[in-house]
Chains A and B, each alone.
Chain A
Amino acid sequence: MGSLKRKSSWSSKTLAKSKKRKGPHLPNSILKIIATQKRPLNSDDNEIDSDVDLYEYEEGIPEEESRKNNRYGRLDNYEFKLPDDFEDEDVESEDDEDGLNSEYDGDDDRHTRMLQVLTGMPSAAFNSENKSKPLLFTEPYPEGEFNPTRDVLSGKNILTEEDFLAPLEEYHKTSKQISRMRKDTYKSLVHPPLPKPDRERLERKAARGLVDEEFSKWVHLVKRNREAPTVYFNQEVVNLGKSTVGAIASEFQPRTEFEMRMASVLNDNEVSEAHREDGARLLELNQASSVIYFIPCRLHDVSMEDHIKDYNHIAKMRSLLFNHERKSKQIKKIKSKLYHRLKNKDLRNSVLGALMDPEMAKEEAMKQEARRVEERMTFKHKNRGKWAKRMVRRGLNVKYNGTGEAITEQLQINAELSRKINSLRDGSSSDEEELSDGSDQDTPYKLLAKAKEKTLRALEDDEVCNSGLMSLPFMVRAMKKKNEEANEEAKRAVEEYEEWENSGGAVKPKKTISVSGRRVFGAIEAPKESKKDSDNFYDNNSDSDIDDNDLEGVRDTASPARRNTGTTTETEVTRDEGGEDSESEAEQMVDGIFEVPSQAELINRAFAGDDVVGEFEKEKQEVLNQEVPEPEKPVLLPGWGQPWPTNKRGYHQIKTTRKEEDAQRKREEALKTRKDFRLKHVIISEKVDKKAEKLHTTTPPFPFTSKEVFEHSMRMPIGPEFNPSTVVGDLNRPEVVKKTGVIIKPVKFEEVNPNEEVDDEHPRNHQKPRLNKKTSRRQSKVK
């Protein structure tokens, strides 16, 4: 009953238990065994509990409380509930004597009384029943004189040895013994072990001390190796064995079948002898051996005839192929008759052909002439043909482009042919004239007459066109004036001709050609020639007067030309002089006629470009602007992006923004930091040479961290050109010196004097004592 009640108060615990006890219903005996195994046997209370549990109805968790789903509104559990992990330690204490007046006991009393009343039996019966249930004892043994009290158990008032010994102290004799005993007791006193972490820490500490000691032995060695500029490995003499090709070859042992066979041939005495002495024998042997060794069995079966047959067959096929190829090539070359005809025609038509062959040219010319004649006679190409007429009548439609083109082409041909005729005529006529001129040179009279005639004719026809611009009054006047002048000239000319006719002197008729009433623009050849002539024969020209006159006669035309020629010749002369100057100077020097320039001249020369300095400054400014560009001016027009006029006058003030000022300041600073800032006469370019950039590092190489240290370490050259031979080796020794092909052994411990200076300069010397040391140590060990 009591247990039931307790249940209610421990609802939570049972709940937890009930959850566990789900499963198959086992027979009681088994369950009991399980229970006894689980719990200590002497805890009766629990036993009972387990008994009860087996037969008790177990109420599941009400659905409201299970909170599996929120079907029910949340019910507040007002019953006090212990936490799940609550350990009911004090339960026992409830059963103590101290807690007799507790509620639980009170309940019991009441219960017994109730039973007494109901049954009429003495309460002892019930009590015995009640007492038969063993009480829970918290102490292992009943309280008594010889049993430790609860205090003692809890460790409060422990009896020490002193307590026992205190009464004995009175006896002096025993005091010594006691003290000894005390000591013993102290000795034998075993302290409880330290907590594990502390113990471990201590262990580690001790171990570290040991390891430190072990390792610190190596520190000096490691330090020395680290700081050594060169580390040497395997300095002892090691025999690496044979390495030459001959040595390796001599070791060769034939293993495979092929190798064996080769060896047998190579080592055959017969063969080697033959090789040494008799060539013919060697040949024989070779054939024999080839038959034996090298001709595979399959080939061996083929007879000589078959071989020849095969060979012939191949040759035949090859020749066939060759012929076929040749034929195809020929075919490619063959061209049709038409092709050749066209080609020839082209050649004939081309100018090249005409040039090449005079006969052909002649033929061509004849043909051309014939065509021309035909054209002239028939107007073949004037679109007078039936077809052309029809076409024209129908109208040159845009629809048929071809017809239009054809017609224009015909017209073109016509024009060409006719033009050619004209030009030919002109050419021929001029030629004739020239020829006649040439022929007339013998007969100046005739020529003079002709000239006279011409001038007269020119005088007579004063054609003045009276239309357009020429009809304007001032133009008319000007023309009149010109005409008059021309007339006068012509008259003069006529007079001259007459004079010459009378005098009968030698005349150069060419000059007269230019004398005409017409206006002439630009220079004419003839007067130039005359000028040249006059230049050449200036002194010995008999008829210079004629020349002069002549020149006078054509003054308006020839004078500019004359002037030109004059100037050109002059310049030529000066240039020649200039050119010769430097060359001739040398000659002059040789002759010893070197002119020392005067002081004034020198000064002139020195200050020829007076504003040299100013120019240089300008150039410097340019360079500076290029290398440190001026900040960009604002792109906005004045007024844009600014408030309404701020100036008194109402104009927009252009304010420099902070940005611009900054840029300007930056530029000034950049200029200040330039090397040539203070040097007026110097421009030092600070352009970055991209090609030379690879010769510099951007960051100091690994072990270095500062620029200065790195650059200072780089200041000395280490090559043999710059250092005495005694130091070059040390300066250029690699970091590691070792022998190739030898395994590097791990470092061995050796005693190092930490104060010893590392001797880098004489590594060889350094090495030897080390070796000696090692050997000595070994010896000592042996001893």
Chain B
Amino acid sequence: MEVALEDNSLMDKVLPPDEQEIDVELEAKEKKYLRGEGANLETLKDKKLKTQLASREKLYGKSAKAAAKIEKWLLPASAGYLETDGLEKTWRVKQTDIAKEVDILSSRNQYDIVLPDFGPYKLDFTASGRHMLAGGRKGHLALVDMMSMNLIKEIQVRETVRDVAFLHNDQFFAAAQKKYSYIYARDGTELHCLKERGPVARLRFLKNHFLLASVNKIGQLHYQDVTYGDMVASIRTGKGRTDVMEVNPYNGVVALGHSGGTVTMWKPTSQAPLVQMQCHPGPVSSLAFHPNGHLMATSGKERKLKIWDLRKFEEVLGDSSGDYSRYMSHSMVKGYQIEKVMFRPYEDVLGIGHSMGWSSVLIPGSGEPNFDSWVANPFETTKQRREKEVHLLLDKLPPETIMLDPSKIGAMRPSRRKERLTRGEIEAEKEVAVEAAKGVELKKKTKGRNKPSKRTKKKKELVENAKRTFPEQENSAAGKKRRIGEDAAAELPACLKRFARKN
């Protein structure tokens, strides 16, 4: 206490020794929160803007610093991991081994629910990871509170259920059934029957945009706004039937995997796919996105798993490389058909839906350790939930904000004009052209015209011509610019001509 008091009395003239030490970790975090470099203000001519931006940058720096400090000191937990000693491989560690080591609360997350009657189960978690929805193929829908392991509601729809999805919170969920898809309330009441989509194969909810996306049996992609029930977009993919569909959590782009091995990405405002990628030689069997949206994992029927960098659309070196290797394995009983695998948010838990019910296994380090109640709160009270719902609705994003790079919103419109060639490129092209001119075979002409002197002259001319085209281009560009200025001056009335900018 005394030391602290002294520190206070010293005021800010002398920094305490702890702070004087350069904390590399803090700096790295600060950099993360700064979200990139500030602009170079030296180039600015406007002094007012310059100082304003400088003060702004200072505030940003302060904010980043504070955030970094909060992350360093106030966040209670850090992500776990599986540590082995020496040569032991992590993937040899079994669930039973883990169970011995972890605390009771975590070990309670290892279980198997055996429900043999209603076929392979689809799973879905709410954003907070508090609630789970299980949909059996043969019509069994169950809503479970994962914290207390209470069954909240269980209904039998007596129809094939192909997929289930929570809407924005645990109060509503959608189920894709045999002919139509339906929306149910938490207590199992059927609220809506969504007939327009046809027999739906996969359902996903875009929580920032309040869109329920679905792909049906004939390969049509539908986006429906659940706030006012309007069909925002219905797109014919033209790639045939698919049941591989995932949403990129970063930007809301929907990705579909097709039988031709392609993965297509869609947004509701365009009929053509944003991106098409040839990922596998055979049909794509499943898809997944990293929460930051930069990585995508695909698996094909040819038993291959690939990881893609979505910023470059290139394959990140696959499982053979050091970065991505097998982390853990869990063997199921032979004959269990696995329908769905999903990590539970904010927990190191993996839910596996299979033909005999569902299982839950521990994967250390898989979940985000610290929840942010601004984003999702697993311990939400009713009042908070209601408040949150209103906030979510107020913050709802319009469908056109779905794009590959949402950070570009509010920025300048990308110019459609092509960039001019750089000097080096022009030089290279010039060389190529000169070479081509030199290599031209001259025709053999009649006796008088075929003199070697004439031939060399002709050749020189050709080369000259080839060379001449390049500087000419530059000149012409300059001339054009000048002309544009002149035109502007010419258009002005006589009295204003003197104010026209002289180049």
A residues adjacent to B (C-beta < 8 A): 226-227, 229, 585-586, 589-590, 592-594, 602-603, 605-609, 612-613, 615-616, 619-620, 623, 669-670, 673, 676, 679, 681-685, 687-689, 691-700, 703-716, 721, 723-724, 726-727, 730-731, 758, 760-761
Contact = CB atoms under 8 A, between A and B. Distances in A.
Contact of A727 (B66, B273, B275, B303): B66
B161 to A, nearest CB: 12
A710 B302 contact: no
B108 to A, nearest CB: 28
A605 B283 CA distance: 8
Nearest to B374: A721
A754 to B, nearest CB: 13
A724 B55 contact: no
Contacts of A721: 374
A695 B401 contact: yes
A739 to B, nearest CB: 24
Contacts of A620: 276
A229 B44 contact: no
Contacts of A227: 47-48, 51-52, 55
B313 A613 contact: no
A589 B407 CA distance: 47
A376 to B, nearest CB: 58
B39 A708 contact: yes
B63 interface: yes
Contact of B411 (A603, A605, A681, A697): A697
17 contacts: A227-B51, A590-B116, A605-B282, A606-B300, A606-B301, A609-B261, A613-B278, A623-B276, A673-B418, A679-B313, A681-B278, A687-B270, A695-B409, A724-B63, A724-B70, A731-B59, A760-B55
Contact of A602 (B138, B272, B303): B303
A586 B138 contact: yes
Contact of A714 (B355, B374, B400, B411): B411
A696 B408 contact: yes
Interface string B265-291: 001011011111111011100000000
B313 A682 contact: yes
Contacts of B63: 716, 723-724, 727, 731
B56 A606 contact: no
B249 to A, nearest CB: 16
Main secondary structure of the interface of B (DSSP, over half): loop
A709 B53 contact: yes
Contacts of B277: 681-683
A698 B41 CA distance: 22
A611 to B, nearest CB: 10
Contacts, number: 200
Nearest to A676: B313
Contact of B278 (A229, A594, A612, A623): A612
Contacts of B300: 606
Given A698-B413, A705-B46, A714-B410, A687 B278 contact: no
Given A673-B418, A682-B275, A727-B59, A697 B314 contact: no
Interface string B19-59: 00000000000000011111111011111110111011011
A685 B408 contact: no
A226 B411 CA distance: 26
A711 B411 contact: yes
B310 to A, nearest CB: 10
A706 B408 contact: no
Contacts of B353: none
Given A681-B277, A682-B276, A689-B269, A609 B62 contact: no
A691 B267 CA distance: 12
B270 A696 contact: no
A57 B432 CA distance: 103
Contacts of A758: 55
Contacts of B329: none
B374 to A, nearest CB: 5
Contact of B275 (A592, A616, A684, A699): A684
B278 A703 contact: no
Given A602-B303, A692-B403, A709-B39, A229 B53 contact: no
Given A670-B418, A682-B313, A689-B400, A229 B37 contact: no
A699 B273 CA distance: 28
Nearest to B276: A683
A698 B412 contact: yes
Contacts of A708: 39-40
B67 A724 contact: yes
Nearest to A603: B302
A262 to B, nearest CB: 45
Interface in B392-423: 400-401, 403, 407-414, 416, 418-419
Nearest to B404: A684
A704 B412 CA distance: 12
B272 A693 contact: no
Given A695-B410, A724-B63, A760-B55, A685 B281 contact: no
Contacts of B44: 705-706, 709
Nearest to B120: A586
A715 B335 contact: no
B418 A679 contact: no
B213 interface: no
Contact of B39 (A592, A713, A724): A713
B412 A609 contact: no
A700 B275 CA distance: 29
Contacts of A710: 411-412
Contacts of B324: none
B55 A692 contact: no
Contact of B302 (A607, A673, A681, A694): A607
A688 B416 contact: yes
B302 A684 contact: no
Contacts of A602: 301-303
Contacts of B237: none
B207 to A, nearest CB: 15
Given A585-B337, A712-B38, A731-B63, 19 more contacts: A226-B48, A589-B335, A589-B336, A592-B334, A609-B282, A612-B281, A613-B278, A623-B272, A679-B314, A683-B276, A693-B413, A695-B401, A696-B411, A697-B410, A703-B52, A709-B39, A709-B43, A716-B34, A716-B63
Contacts of A709: 39-41, 43-44, 53
Nearest to B136: A586
A696 B413 contact: yes
A693 B414 CA distance: 10
A66 B439 CA distance: 90
Shortest 9 CB-CB contacts between residues of A and residues of B: A606-B302, A712-B39, A606-B282, A696-B413, A724-B66, A681-B278, A227-B51, A727-B63, A709-B39
Contact of B259 (A609, A616, A688, A712): A609
Contact of A685 (B275, B283, B335): B275
A700 B412 contact: yes
A229 B55 contact: yes
Contacts of A700: 412
Contacts of A669: 418
A229 to B, nearest CB: 5
Nearest to B69: A724
A623 B279 CA distance: 18
Nearest to A681: B278
Contact of B281 (A613, A691, A694, A704): A613
Contacts of B363: none
Contact of A615 (B37, B56, B138, B260): B260
Contacts of A586: 119-120, 137-138, 337, 355
A613 B280 CA distance: 9
A249 to B, nearest CB: 36
B260 A590 contact: no
Nearest to A710: B412
Nearest to A592: B335
A623 B274 CA distance: 11
A670 B67 CA distance: 44
Contacts of B411: 696-697, 710-711, 714
Nearest to B44: A709
